[in-house]
Amino acid sequence: MFRDLLATADIVLENFTPRVLRGWGLHYEDLRKIRPSLIMLSNTGYGATGPWSSFPSQGTTLEATMGISAYSGYRGDRPSKVGQSYPDFIACWTGLAALFAALHALRATGQGQWIDLSMYQVGAALVPEALLQYQLDGTQPRRIGNEHERFVPSNVYPARGDDRWVALTVETDAQWAALCGAMGRPDLARDFADGGVRAAHRGPVDAAVAAWLREQDPFEAMRRVQALGIACGPVMNSRDLLLDPHLAHRGFHERVLHPQPVGWRPMLGRPYRWSLRTPRVHRRGPLYAEHNREILRELPGYTEARIEQLVAARVVCDAPNIVKPPESMGIAQLLALHAVCEVDADYREKLGIAG
């Protein structure tokens, strides 16, 4: 069935380790005999060649091997992950660029292409500052968390409210004097007037700024500090982003209708706008197995009887093989884990959606 589908395909994406498709007789050299113009993207941890090619991988190990963990984390602490599966995102963007390039070459030459993408190499290519720094002066970036090597204060500070934070960076002595004025602390402006002195006394400077910001609403702090010409902004949570007036003005969140009981929901749009057209989300994402039969009916020889046989044999699945009960990760548990901080019962009204 996979080979039958392949005969009508333009692109195949796969992310097994290199041995898997070879073992099934489905490597690119096998597949292009069926579809000579085929473009195939193999996304693996370390590529299809080399001494590490057989290693499975996932985000945490890739961040470590690509080197980014060496300088992510806090002072005096161990290396840290930089986010949620960072290598997955950069591999996706790189893979899309490679696919567009392969499609361009296909139009020009009529030839397909096998793209052997190594996530490890993508990561190493995207830590250029660290590599350049070592080449230039033999030093390596230090783990400094949200701090800045030169500017003090420059950090993320707690603000008023539950888990609310403000990012702030002072770059000049004049900015520091202005901030001290807003804080009502002329003593700080006098004692730490010079940037070098502030850098040498990072701890007490950070503590003073943190003590002031802890009593401030994060958005009000942003307005007050930005008015002084100082870089400052709140750390947004999901609610802030969904209600953000700038994103609303840009039309970033689009309303998309899903089957009940979900109904209308805001969905991420795109971070760009076109001058002559208005691209938009045309439809919701598919439900599980929603289009199985529709796709198979397009293949020669796939009658309704044959399709039902495939479903009955679970070659084609209309439902997951393993189903977790709905309460296995409900709102109560998410709240307990702090994966969800708060639930707005009136979220539909706040977002201006119905149904």
The 3-state secondary structure of 89-127, one letter per residue: HHHHHHHHHHHHHHHHHHHHHCCCEEEEEEHHHHHHHCC
Return d(Cα 277, Cα 299) in angstroms, integer. Answer: 35
Q: Residue 214: its pLDDT value, please?
A: 97
Report if residue 262 sits inside a domain.
no
> Which of 203, 218, 235 is a domain's end point?
235
Question: Based on the structure, what is the number of domains in the chain?
Answer: 2
Q: Within this chain, do residues 126 and 227 fall inside the same structural domain, yes or no?
A: no
22 and 113 both lie in a single domain = yes
Residue 165 lies in a domain: yes
SS3 state at 165: strand
- Looking up tokens 């783990």, which residue turns up? 143
Cα gap 221→183, rounded to integer Å: 11
In a domain, 69, yes or no: yes
The pLDDT of residue 340: 84
Question: Does a structural domain hold residue 57?
Answer: yes
Domain assignment of residue 203, yes or no: yes
Query: Which domain range does residue 214 map to?
Result: 154-235
Q: Which residues contact 141 (CB under 8 A, 6 or more apart)?
A: 70, 71, 129, 130, 133
Write out the chain's pLDDT in tens, 355 residues: 999 999 999 999 999 999 999 999 999 999 999 999 999 999 999 999 999 999 999 888 899 998 899 989 999 999 998 877 889 999 999 999 999 999 999 999 999 999 999 999 999 888 888 889 999 999 999 999 999 999 999 999 999 998 999 999 999 999 999 999 999 999 999 999 999 999 999 999 999 999 999 999 999 999 999 999 999 999 999 999 999 999 999 999 999 999 988 889 999 999 999 999 999 999 999 999 999 999 999 999 999 999 999 999 999 999 888 887 766 667 888 888 888 888 888 888 888 887 5
Beta bridge partners of 34: none
Residues 87 and 167 in one domain: no
| 168, 84: one domain | no
Q: Are residues 20 and 128 in the same domain?
A: yes
pLDDT at residue 257, rounded to an integer = 93
The enclosing domain of 202 has a CATH number of 3.30.1540.10
The pTM for the full model equals: 0.84
Q: What pLDDT does 2 receive?
A: 93
Same domain for 219 and 98:
no
Supply the pLDDT for residue 197: 97
State which of 179, 205, 235 marks the end of a domain: 235
Cβ contact 147:202 at 8 Å? yes
Claim to verify: residue 98 and residue 215 sit in the same structural domain: no
Do 164 and 192 lie in a common domain? yes
The confidence score (pLDDT) of residue 328 equals 64
- Given this model, what pLDDT does residue 327 score? 60
